[in-house]
């Protein structure tokens, strides 16, 4: 049966989060202390890049890597050495997330990230931030080489990082394409459900959902490509589910709970709500979208929100959430041995009806 | 004996260059036609990115990969299949060169590249160019996976590309550090020979000299790490030699032959001439450097050039070129079997006393 109660319990314990964080200084040391690889003047700079950007977020992706591994590995495999390796993989995922954020903030012209100035806005940084992003990306492969070179799954995880990186850049490319034309008008014809799901899958789901779990599977010795395909199908669906929720909460969430003031409407984002509004709306709603969507003016934002409510998008969303949750949960129940089933179930229960 | 006559003969025949170029459309097809990897909307865009940026240069690095291989491989190994693979490696090197140029032009604010607007300056591109650079970087690993997955040297060449990428970003980081302070003054204290040689080695020599030749060695089946170390030592020296020449020609070359108007002085670059001027100059010359170096004003540029001549830098350069050429040539003569000796000798003779 599919659990229906929302549980606010964290996926991981405070202790586990503390432990993950405690490894970060070692990661910085590894990435900056090799004089063959990095020069002393660069050492100080890159250490600053890592400290400023990597550890400040929620670290969900990194911690998921570890939690998924624990759910999958046999008790005898949960040695300190193996857990150490999985923590390193988790930090590699966090570094991947971070270098995409650094670059995304430049391309989007975003001023803030996690309550601090975006890296490129920091004094003396500017567009050097692009080179820093490349250095961070390459740091991943340095860590993989240092710690995993003799593992049978070394090539698999390298290829996995490559694959998820290209997928994310393809998603970003799609996202940047559905921008505004020269007059600053938004091209609503690109707001289709097909395009939306593709964009979300490529831009977010691969590296945020598939990558951590696939890494945990490789680390646990899973080699069967069929199992990876099974996991991928489910995780990409989870990533889409997560992003739809994110888009919904951006507009209808409680800022006191989400901790952020949504601005997808004024930014003219191709969000799930906008796509569904265009699907369900008739000529008048489409005219409102055309006229008011993507404008800074609070009255325009308010008009769009009203229209979303007129179209009953909150209940459309509720039905979507309910159905999708059940479907994915049941898919997870049917997975084979070798997939971190317990972790995925817990993860879905945690996501279901989330408000933050 | 060390040949002393400058030969203007190209390292490769016109036919070889034509052949290398003829493979480019296949590369574009490989990188854009896989719907699992790239979405149709992105396909068109990425194809444009590749066409605009990759093939327009001299392609020396890509062609060197092939020429070095031919110099090394036994006649029986020069099959169409093997040559095809080496051509692909050559294009991977060109892609690496290109994504660094795209990013370098953004960070330096350069308007032109190869006589056309820099990619980020093209209409509808802007800072999307950063994502394009990442897509291009990842294209390398896609090609390696597609064509080299079953080769015994697959991991070696993947690690080599990663290693050369990190080295280049470290060099770029160093380069960007030796910029101007807030008042726009150049920090001449960073213009030391030690820092210069490190910067050149990391920023240029690894990917422009070591990478193509190391690839050719792996493709020819060389596995002995000692041979790679030997080759690396020589190729990093060649890279430094090449860059010193480049810096010299920027100021003292004939624009009708080099095809470009030098601007290292007005840009305030940490060039070999500036470093040597500070080494050899006394207080008056240092004062001139401080006052006039890195200014747009043609009178300032002229004053620096005069000072370089007062310090007899052209003859210092000539002695450097002569000595370094001989030293490297002799090192090449002493290399072991497994290093593309004939290619390296020809390459050095080609570089010696170059005017373009
Ligand atoms: Mg953004
Ligand atoms: Mg963005
Ligand atoms: Mg959002
Ligand atoms: Mg530049
Ligand atoms: Mg530069
Ligand atoms: Mg130059």
User: Which distant-in-sequence residues (6+ apart) come within 8 Å of B311 by Cβ?
Assistant: B276, B277, B280, B281, B285
Q: What is the CA radius of gyration of chain A?
A: 21
The Cα-based distances of A19 to A22, A86, A343, B230 in angstroms read 5, 12, 19, 43
Is the ipTM value over 0.90, yes or no? yes
Determine the Cα–Cα distance for residues A57 and A341; give it in Å rounded to an integer.
26
Catalytic residue, from B70, B167, B203, B269: name it.
B203
**A54, A24 Cβ separation under 8 angstroms:** yes
Looking at CA atoms only, how far is residue B15 from chain A in angstroms? 34
Q: Say how many Å lie between the CA of residue A251 and the centre of ligand 1.
A: 17
Report the length, in residues, of chain A. Answer: 356
Give the one of B42, B165, B170 whose C-beta lies nearest to A173's C-beta: B42
Q: What is the 3-state secondary structure (H, E, C) of B55-97?
A: CCCCCHHHHHHHHHHHHHCCHHHCCHHHHHHHHHHHHHHHHHH
Q: Where are the beta strands (DSSP E) in B254-328?
A: none
Give the one of A103, A138, A173 whose C-beta lies nearest to B45's C-beta: A173
The Cα-based distances of B197 to A224, B229, B268, B323 in angstroms read 49, 19, 17, 17
Pair of tokens at residue B82: 């093997």
Our measurement of the distance from residue A10's CA atom to the centroid of its chain's CA atoms, rounded to an integer in Å, reads: 18
Say if residue A36 is exposed, middle or buried (CB neighbours under 10 Å; 0-12, 13-18, 19+).
exposed
Q: Where are the beta strands (DSSP E) in A94-189?
A: 112-113, 116-117
CA dihedral (B30, B35, B40, B41) in degrees, to 10, reads -90
3-state secondary structure of A246: helix
Looking at CA atoms only, how far is residue B172 from chain A in angstroms? 7
The Cα-based distances of B218 to B151, B296, B344 in angstroms read 10, 46, 16
Q: Considering only CA atoms, which of A162, A115, A133, A163 is closest in space to residue B127?
A: A133
User: Which distant-in-sequence residues (6+ apart) come within 8 Å of A29 by Cβ?
Assistant: none
Q: Do B135 and A202 touch (CB under 8 A)?
A: no
Helices (H) and strands (E) in chain A, counts: 17, 2
Q: What is the pLDDT, as a whole number, of residue B179?
A: 66
Q: Say how many Å lie between the CA of residue A298 and the centre of ligand 2.
A: 22
Say if residue A155 is exposed, middle or buried (CB neighbours under 10 Å; 0-12, 13-18, 19+).
middle
Determine the Cα–Cα distance for residues B356 and B255; give it in Å rounded to an integer.
9
**B83, B66 Cβ separation under 8 angstroms:** yes
Note the pTM of the prediction, 2 decimals.
Answer: 0.95
Q: Do A198 and B46 touch (CB under 8 A)?
A: no
Scanning every residue of chain B, which has its alpha carbon at the shortest distance from the alpha carbon of A167? B37
Q: Do B173 and A46 touch (CB under 8 A)?
A: yes
Determine the Cα–Cα distance for residues B300 and B294; give it in Å rounded to an integer.
8
**B349, B1 Cβ separation under 8 angstroms:** no
Looking at CA atoms only, how far is residue B100 from chain A in angstroms? 9
Give the one of A106, A131, A166 whose C-beta lies nearest to B173's C-beta: A131
Q: What is the CA radius of gyration of chain B?
A: 21
| B294-309 exposure pattern, b = at least 16 Cβ within 10 A, e = fewer | bbeeeebbebbbebbe
Q: What is the pLDDT, as a whole number, of residue B41?
A: 82
**A90, A159 Cβ separation under 8 angstroms:** no
> Which residues of chain A fall below pLDDT 70?
5-9, 179, 182
Determine the Cα–Cα distance for residues A205 and A213; give it in Å rounded to an integer.
11
User: Which distant-in-sequence residues (6+ apart) come within 8 Å of A15 by Cβ?
Assistant: none
Give the one of A130, A139, A202 whose C-beta lies nearest to B107's C-beta: A130
Q: Say how many Å lie between the CA of residue B298 and the centre of ligand 6.
A: 18
Catalytic residue, from B20, B24, B70, B104: name it.
B104
Q: Do B173 and A42 touch (CB under 8 A)?
A: yes
Q: Looking up tokens 């020589």, which residue turns up?
A: B234
Q: What is the pLDDT, as a whole number, of residue B39?
A: 84
The set of catalytic residues of A is: 58, 99, 104, 108, 113, 175, 203, 242, 246-247
Q: Considering only CA atoms, which of B144, B356, B226, B175 is closest in space to residue A163?
A: B144
Q: Is B58 a catalytic residue?
A: yes
Give the one of B130, B132, B141 whose C-beta lies nearest to A106's C-beta: B130
Beta bridge partners of A117: A112
What ligand has the least distance to the C-alpha of A249?
3
Q: Say how many Å lie between the CA of residue B263 and the centre of ligand 6.
A: 8
> Which residues of chain B fall below pLDDT 50?
none
3-state secondary structure of A180: strand
Determine the Cα–Cα distance for residues A48 and A135; give it in Å rounded to an integer.
12
Determine the Cα–Cα distance for residues A128 and A125; give it in Å rounded to an integer.
5
Q: What is the pLDDT, as a whole number, of residue B1?
A: 76
Q: Considering only CA atoms, which of A65, A47, A67, A66 is closest in space to residue A55?
A: A47
Type and span of the H or E element at A306: helix A298-310
Looking at CA atoms only, how far is residue A336 from chain B in angstroms? 24
Q: Considering only CA atoms, which of A228, A247, A243, A263 is closest in space to residue A198?
A: A243
Determine the Cα–Cα distance for residues A16 and A11; give it in Å rounded to an integer.
10
Looking at CA atoms only, how far is residue B349 from chain A in angstroms? 30
Q: β-strand B112-113 against A112-113: which pairing, if any?
A: unpaired
DSSP state, residue A121: G
B116 φ/ψ angles, rounded to the nearest 5 degrees: -120, 165
Determine the Cα–Cα distance for residues B222 and A281; give it in Å rounded to an integer.
65
What ligand has the least distance to the C-alpha of B179?
5
Q: What is the pLDDT, as a whole number, of residue B7?
A: 56
User: Which distant-in-sequence residues (6+ apart) come within 8 Å of A282 by Cβ?
Assistant: none
Beta bridge partners of B112: B117
CA dihedral (A95, A124, B125, A196) in degrees, to 10, reads 40
Q: Considering only CA atoms, which of B214, B239, B238, B126 is closest in space to residue B163?
A: B214
Scanning every residue of chain A, which has its alpha carbon at the shortest distance from the alpha carbon of B190? A41
């Amino acid at each position: 049966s599919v659990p229906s109660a929302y549980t606010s319990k964290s996926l991981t314990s405070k202790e586990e989060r503390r432990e993950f964080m405690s490894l970060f200084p070692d990661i910085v040391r590894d990435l900056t202390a090799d004089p063959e690889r990095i020069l002393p003047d660069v050492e100080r700079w890159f250490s600053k890049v890592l400290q400023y950007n990597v550890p400040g977020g929620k670290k969900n992706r990194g911690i998921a890597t570890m939690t998924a591994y624990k759910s999958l590995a046999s008790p005898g495999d949960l040695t300190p050495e193996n857990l150490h390796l999985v923590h390193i993989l988790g930090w590699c995922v966090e570094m991947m997330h971070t270098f995409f954020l650094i670059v995304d903030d430049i391309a989007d012209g975003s001023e803030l990230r996690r309550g601090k100035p975006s890296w490129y806005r920091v004094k003396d940084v500017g567009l050097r931030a692009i080179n820093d992003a490349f250095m961070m990306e390459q740091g991943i492969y340095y860590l993989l080489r240092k710690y995993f070179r003799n593992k049978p799954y070394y090539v698999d995880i390298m290829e996995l990082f490559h694959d998820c990186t290209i997928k994310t850049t393809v998603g970003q490319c799609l996202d940047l394409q559905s921008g505004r034309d020269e007059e600053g008008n938004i091209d609503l014809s690109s707001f289709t459900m097909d395009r939306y799901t593709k964009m979300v899958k490529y831009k977010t789901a691969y590296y945020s959902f598939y990558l951590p779990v696939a890494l945990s599977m490789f680390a646990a010795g899973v080699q069967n490509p069929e199992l990876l395909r099974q996991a991928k199908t489910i995780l990409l669906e989870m990533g889409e589910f997560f992003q739809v929720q994110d888009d919904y909460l951006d507009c209808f969430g409680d800022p006191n709970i989400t901790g952020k003031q949504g601005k997808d409407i004024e930014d003219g984002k191709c969000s799930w709500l906008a796509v569904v509004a265009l699907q369900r709306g008739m000529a008048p709603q489409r005219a409102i979208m055309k006229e008011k969507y993507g404008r800074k003016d609070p009255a325009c934002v308010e008009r769009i929100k009203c229209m979303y409510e007129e179209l009953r998008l909150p209940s459309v969303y509720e039905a979507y959430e309910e159905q999708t949750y059940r479907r994915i949960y049941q898919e997870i129940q049917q997975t084979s041995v070798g997939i971190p089933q317990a972790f995925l179930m817990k993860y879905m229960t945690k996501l279901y009806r989330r408000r933050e």
